[in-house]
Amino acid sequence: MRIVLLGDLHGNRPATLAMEAALRDIPADETWFLGDAVGKGPSSAFTCDWVREHCDRFIGGNWDYGIGGKEFPQDGYYWNQLGPERMQWLRNLPSEAELSFAGLRFRLFHGRPVTPLLTASSDREMLEATMATEQGVYDAAIFADSHRPFIRTLNTGYICNTGSIGNSLGVPKAHCMLLEDCPLRMTILSVPYDNEAAAEDARMDPDLPHRDAWIREVLTGEYSR
């Protein structure tokens, strides 16, 4: 059994196509989307449609809800590109999901320490708090949003981040996560893509919000907003 978990495509067409090509060599039984199909990059309609076509299960991210729900007037660029039907789909995505895999109970969501989903007096307590919820105690948590992939252990189990396909920070490649069972394997996939092509897509669109910051992020992996 193989499950791919991915998120944070953020309108980056070259990165998404590179990941699609890499995943052809790793046939998965299921692909789960963990939020943020849209926003930031110039190709949000493309990445939204890609998620809907290629993924089997879905949860929403902060950009999906913000754009889909028209929460911020400055996002009119994305509203015009996406249209009403895509935006309705985005705002109706569930906020988290559960996965039973390799004898473990996984909690899946989109979040980070600055959001209400993850709050505690220290980073370690915050991460461990994600394992015990009103829905019971989990063996592992996998989330997107921070754009930096990792796998680590806690006293209560595993905590993992998928990384970002379209807007990775630190290492500017396309990242996602692969789960395999018998025995359990958790792998971060790091896929090179044409970063300059992604930057050129933005240069060709003078209306893209925060265009210079986006170009810097896809070329360097340095957060720029």
CATH number at residue 153: 3.60.21.10
- Residue 50 is assigned to a structural domain of this protein: yes
Average pLDDT of the residues of the chain: 92
Under the banding of pLDDT at 50, 70 and 90, the label for residue 125 is low
Q: Which of 40-44, 153-157, 217-221 has the lowest mean pLDDT?
A: 153-157
- Residue 104 is assigned to a structural domain of this protein: yes
pLDDT at 119 exceeding the cut of 50? no
- The pTM for the full model equals 0.92
Residue 133 one-letter amino acid: T
With beta carbons less than 8 A apart as the criterion, state whether 141 and 152 touch.
no
pLDDT at 118 exceeding the cut of 70? no
For the beta sheet containing 140-144, the strands, ordered from the edge strand earlier in sequence to the opposite edge, are: 96-101, 104-110, 140-144, 157-161, 150-154
pLDDT at 37 exceeding the cut of 90? yes
- Residue 92 is assigned to a structural domain of this protein: yes
pLDDT at 127 exceeding the cut of 80? no
Tokens standing for 126?
A: 């915050």
As for how many domains the chain has, the answer is 1
Element (H, E) at 48: helix 44-54
Domain with 63, as residue range(s), is: 2-220
* Cβ neighbours of residue 134 closer than 8 Å, sequence gap 6 or more: none
- Residue 225 is assigned to a structural domain of this protein: no
- Residue 193 is assigned to a structural domain of this protein: yes
* Cβ neighbours of residue 21 closer than 8 Å, sequence gap 6 or more: none
pLDDT at position 120: 43
Sequence-ordered strand ranges (E) for 62-193: 96-101, 104-110, 132-133, 136-137, 140-144, 150-154, 157-161, 174-180, 185-191
pLDDT in tens, 150-204: 998 877 789 899 999 999 999 999 999 999 998 999 999 999 999 999 999 999 9
Integer-rounded Cα Rg, in Å, for the chain is: 17
Sequence-ordered strand ranges (E) for 34-156: 57-58, 96-101, 104-110, 132-133, 136-137, 140-144, 150-154
